[in-house]
Amino acid sequence: MPFTTVKVIEGVFSKEQKAQLIEKITEAMIEVEGEGMRDLTWVVIEEVKPGDWAIAGKPISPKPKPKNP
């Protein structure tokens, strides 16, 4: 049973974007594993709080989203 975990910074992706990630990751797994694995393919998106994620020893936070005019 394929189990995929995707970690993202909390608040960066909308509900719709997370749904797209889930769909596309599932489709990628099915492309490799075969259609019979669809019902067994799990995708979990875990949100990590800003500041609890670091690269090269430095905490990162998402860049502010631009406001729509």
Q: Which helix (H) or strand (E) holds 3?
A: strand 3-9
Token representation of residue 23: 């769909």
User: Is there a catalytic annotation at residue 2?
Assistant: yes
Catalytic residue among 2, 59, 62, 69: 2
The rounded distance, in Å, linking the Cα atoms of 33 and 63 is 36
Q: Which amino acids are annotated catalytic?
A: 2
